[in-house]
Structure 1
Amino acid sequence: MSGSFYSKFVFPYLCELTMSGKSLSGFRQDALQEINGEVLEIGFGTGLNLPHFPETVQKIDAVDVNPRMHRLARKRIDKYGIEVTNYVLSGEHLPMDDASYDYVVCTFTLCSIPDVSQALLEINRVLKPRGNFVFLEHGLSDVTKVQAWQHRLNPLQKKIGDGCHLNRKIDDLVLGASFEITSLKRFHLPSVPKFIGHCYQGIAAKPLSSD
């Protein structure tokens, strides 16, 4: 529903409401605690990660396809004092130069990028050699019965979640973009239905050479 009334005027507020709960704050904090240097965030949204970046992070390049997300993020940006350069675009075609960043961050976003494999290749491209891709995403469960429900409900979720997929296997997608996964946790979010609450939290390094 990209470009629709729902995408522009309803989903940003729904996203803020559902993703800003305290239950996710601890996971965000844990995922982002080692971020430093030059940072790019894909799927910046309403800036929900801003409170969880270390104090050493003073500047972030932020990519989000939805311009209204950045408007909603304005108060949060002002509150935390991090300089944010906003890019209104999707993650498949980034304008940044090769090897520009020490860290690329992505939380609850890979589920909704149309060509997620291309976006991950772009993330790899803009990272410096041995730079790190930090991700916290929901995706395909490791439980067969839950997987069945995820596949069954995926068409409905794509409509409600503005392109969000329930059934992407995040670790396989990351490995498919020539990353080396150095850390990976898989878990279910507490008090969240299992079909939408299975999460992947990890760090993936860009190899010194992609050959």
Structure 2
Amino acid sequence: MASLYDRFVLPRLLKCACAAPPIMKQRAKVVPAAEGRVLELGIGMGLNLGLYDPGKVESVTGVDPAPELRAIAEAAPRDPRLSVRVEDGTAEALPFEAGSFDCVVCTFTLCSVHTPAAALSEARRVLKPGGRFLYCEHGLSPDADVAKWQRRIEPVWKRIAGGCHLTRPVTSAIEAAGFTVRRHESMYLPRTPRFAGWNEWGEATPR
């Protein structure tokens, strides 16, 4: 059973952090490119739903293990033409057949899943041949001084931020999971502490 912190405090904290203007600007660089049948890993509060193009997207299926966040996602603003289904599930064990989706969207999710390699393997499994994996994630900084502080802060950060990790690699982990990265960009987010601000985004296809 979720603690009182997880039920009442964490959703408010996540909304403040994950809906901050720099974060939403990054989401807008990735999500509108989705097409066809889309799976969103860790849909959370549904912050991406207003960014999908209903002219290109047939449907969006979102999975998340937290009932409190799924309830928020169900009510999140979106174009009324967009077909959305929000389901209970974890990224590491997706309840879908292989080759079910044209596109998998993963934004600010790999930091908090239990096993990123398993989540990426599942994303690859459920994608159709030639399908696209669109990602935007924060993670391990390439700068040694920043990475040092990330490692120092991470144990406390995980406890207060719903299991969010600061030191997980992003693009290299995607490549290691059997994807070919077709587009990759990175930067420190503005108006964000550097220990939490390293961001990588792009597009990959299964090998």
> Residue in 2 aligned with 1:117?
117
> Residue in 2 aligned with 1:145?
145
> Residue in 1 aligned with 2:11?
12
Cα shift readout 1:104-127 (whole Å, capped 9, x = no counterpart): 001111000011111110000000
Equivalent pairs counted in the alignment come to 205
2:22 aligned with 1:23, yes or no? Answer: yes
> Residue in 2 aligned with 1:159?
159
The residue type paired with residue 38 of structure 1 is R
> Residue in 1 aligned with 2:178?
178
> Which deviates more, 48-57 or 177-186?
48-57
CA distance in 1, matches of 2:205, 2:10: 32
> Residue in 1 aligned with 2:104?
104
Unaligned runs of 5+ in 1: none
> Residue in 1 aligned with 2:188?
188
Structure 1 residue matching 2:44: 3-state secondary structure:
coil
Cα deviation, residue 58, structure 1: 4.5
TM-score when normalising by structure 2: 0.94
The residue type paired with residue 205 of structure 2 is A
Match runs of 1:13-162 below 5 Å: 13-56=12-55, 57-77=57-77, 79-81=78-80, 82-162=82-162
Contact 2:186 2:200 in 1 (8 A): yes
> Residue in 2 aligned with 1:3?
2
Structure 1 residue matching 2:36: 3-state secondary structure:
coil
CA distance in 2, matches of 1:180, 1:67: 33
TM superposition outliers: structure 1 runs of 4+ over 6 Å: none
Structure 2 residue matching 1:38: 3-state secondary structure:
strand
CA distance in 2, matches of 1:144, 1:189: 17
Cα deviation, residue 24, structure 1: 2.4
CA distance in 1, matches of 2:130, 2:59: 20
Identity of aligned residues (%): 36
CA distance in 2, matches of 1:5, 1:132: 38
CA distance in 2, matches of 1:75, 1:86: 10
Contact 1:8 1:66 in 2 (8 A): no
Contact 2:41 2:91 in 1 (8 A): yes
CA distance in 1, matches of 2:121, 2:196: 25
